[in-house]
Structure 1
């Protein structure tokens, strides 16, 4: 990472996608909080500007046994432990996660209230939106204008149309 930072210079943003879970076992966590620091802080110190923390559902706490059902998600913990800017992701605006899509199941549009609450708490800095935008290209405009009743869900068949 330090070599990458040196090669691109100080003004080029480096965003690194990180994940705690394994697709084969979604209950696995690679590291508890004290070990997350040992894993993530050297990346930040070497030049990573933003940690893009992957998880299936942005509203789920990374360590509910430590901070409860409304606790920090992966991006929240990464920000708390490293001070880095973080991006969260995971089922934004939808009621089902990405694994449902791969199983051929769609997702209905869902409230963004939990997202607003977490962002107001500064849990993470940015949010990534995927399937909601694929299912509704006007999603951002609708969110900005408060047109929540006309948000569309995601049809899993849309995955076969991607090229």
Structure 2
């Protein structure tokens, strides 16, 4: 005897949730990236005012400092994005503005650990270029089995 299946049971999470467009993902990246650097600049100004001798360490023009600066910035951005997505349950400032959210591939809410996996996946060089294409499926989504979808709330 055959039982009837509920049509909703046949939908995959991608069919149930509309993936965010490449344009929205790009907007998320730009908004989050600019906001991160505004925060970093603000922190730098406060640091320079509070401890001018410490701030001089960061303006060092020695060879290799530029590379170190870039690596530290990349790791701090990853940590920032991890913390924001963990605290705000898959949202960041960019996602809030574009009305999108990061979720697990099965449609469930991401955990704090999953947010940290997503954040540090972004620290891989050239990860940003993996988001090009339609559908937008960058490495931080592939490697962590997550996706960014239009938020229904």
TM-score range, shorter chain: under 0.3
Q: Whose radius of gyration is greater, 1 or 2?
A: 2
What TM-score, normalized by structure 1, do the two folds share? 0.24
Higher strand residue share: 1
What TM-score, normalized by structure 2, do the two folds share? 0.25
Higher helix residue share: 2
Return the structure number with greater relative CO, CA threshold 8 A, min gap 6: 2
